[in-house]
Homo-oligomer: A and B are copies of this chain.
Amino acid sequence: MKATILIHCPDQPGIISSVTGFIHSQRGNIIYLDQHVDKQAGIFFMRLESDFSNQMTSLEKFNEAFETDLAKPNKMEWNIYSDGIRPKMVLFVSKYNHCLYDLLSRYRSGELDVEIPFIISNHDELRDIAGQFDIDFHHIPITSETKSQAEEKQLRLLKEHHIDFIVLARYMQIVTETLISEYPNKIINIHHSFLPAFAGAKPYHAAFERGVKIIGATSHYVTEDLDAGPIIEQDVTTVSHSHSIKDFIAKGRDLEKIVLSRAVKLHLERKTMVYNNKTVIFS
């Protein structure tokens, strides 16, 4: 069995040695280890990929030992993910199709090791694309009056299918606390600006107005503060006076696709950890 283990705890001398010694004692072979210490916050982070072949007695016993021998004494928070289990991801969309096409193409090509049980949208426009890729499409309209019922409906669907995380692929609605509290650090958004510049609506228009020479896109975990959650990935591209707002939008589409898909992959590969509204992104 292969597994990925994520750990964070207060920093202390000997912590790397303790962890690696424990894994070794459990007949695990560490294939990959990445670690980070936030010196300001005094927190230690670690990501381990380990191969336990068939020597390990059982995952249950391993977890028990880890908890007792390692986690408790070191005040660790930790998670273990077996390689065999594919997480379930749901896409939220509205009317823009470029991120949807990009993610579904990658999914269909086997690039993303994930299941996509269905797509949710507050509009019906992108139903055909879901059809092209044989994926269920739930049209749940939202008005200011029906917002909370709509979110309840979304939540029921997500629970029913044991969805692990949500990707807002240019979903043009603000997600509320109802969903966020159920999926903390598990809702990935793509914002079409180089955050924190141009948060909120119409960032390309604002960027054009300001006369910037570079535009960007930012993928982040959704928190209750709009466009202010922990940043997973950003990228930029150059623009000039010769580009219109329409050109900004066209160039931005390519950025958004790339940045969102990178963030989704990092999340899927368990390479992201969140603390203090920031991320540690392991390589």
User: Which residues of A are in contact with B by a Cβ distance under 8 Å?
Assistant: 13-14, 16-17, 20-21, 23-24, 29-39, 97-98, 101-102, 105, 108-109, 111, 132-133, 194-198, 210-214, 216, 230-236, 240-242, 244, 250, 253-254, 258, 261, 276-281, 283
Number of copies: 4
Cα distance A241–B43 in the bound complex, in angstroms: 12
Q: Are A278 and B101 in contact (CB under 8 A)?
A: no
Name the contact of A17 in the complex, choosing from B20, B109, B280 (C-beta under 8 A).
Answer: B20
Q: Would you list 7 pairs from A and B whose C-beta atoms are within 8 A, ordered by A residue?
A: A13-B24, A14-B24, A97-B105, A211-B230, A211-B231, A213-B234, A241-B281
Residues of B within 8 A of A281 (CB): 213, 240-241
Counting chain B CB atoms within 10 Å of each CB, the highest count among A16, A194, A212, A280 belongs to A16
A14 to B13, CA, bound (A): 20
> With A and B bound together, what is the CA distance between A225 and B245 in angstroms?
24
Which residues from chain B contact A234 at a C-beta distance below 8 Å? 212-214
